[in-house]
Structure 1
Amino acid sequence: QELYGRPTDVPWAITIDPLYRLPAYSEFSRFHPAFLYESLWSLLTFVILITILRRFSNKLLSGDLMALYLIFYAIGRTLLEMVRLDSRTMNLAGVELNMAVATFVSLILAFLMAVWIAVRHLRLRNGERD
């Protein structure tokens, strides 16, 4: 009865007991199953990473899979936050950060990870040591 998303009429929607609904959404009964979306995204990420590992194991550098995981995690977290209702502000060192800011930071970090992977592979291709 937690980690549910916004109200919806999709066929796979879940019914949340009125006792567990957020007050602002008490008139709704069917919600996106955000926990299911997160599980499916994690499974998809696993399948993609295993496929990359098997297909490109001879070309992967140390840390590449971890960087790719962080990229997929950031994308998945961003998508999930779009449907979640319980997104809250975060308190970081006494400063409240909205989840939009956290999402922006996640995407920037994903971009930096992608650049890091690309630069390392370009250096290797040009004969430079990592």
Structure 2
Amino acid sequence: MGWSSANQIFNPVARALREAGVSDQTKRKVLGDLISGLQDGDWDTEDESLEDFLDDPAIVQAFADHDVHLSDRRCCRAEHAKNPAAYLLAMRHADVSEDEMTRAIDAYAHHLAERIRASRDETRGAVQATKVMDYAADLIDPEAQR
């Protein structure tokens, strides 16, 4: 038996935790325990609740901890935007199209280029080093090549 009404339990609790301003760690723990309990009760529409909270990384991670993902993996993209290397590793085990993999690789290359550009301050005294860093960043950054 499916239990779609579990969304009516989960969503208000998640909203209340957000409105109360609790830490991400607390949200992840409390909602993770709630997700686990609701899944034990045969919750079958947890993806609908996940969709409602895609803008909150702690809630997205609580769902991911219990292997709940959207079919189009938008939840994973939101979570892995902060860590493109982890996103690429996760994609190795998923049914991912070549275009999506290419976009993820480009995002990772751009992320690396931004890290190189951000370290410019450390080499500000060496003009040649700054030029080399800019060149390297532009070389690997797909966005700089467009």
TM-score normalised to the size of structure 2? 0.29
Task: Report which of the two has the higher share of helix.
Answer: 2
TM-score normalised to the size of structure 1? 0.31
Task: Report which of the two has the higher share of strand.
Answer: 1
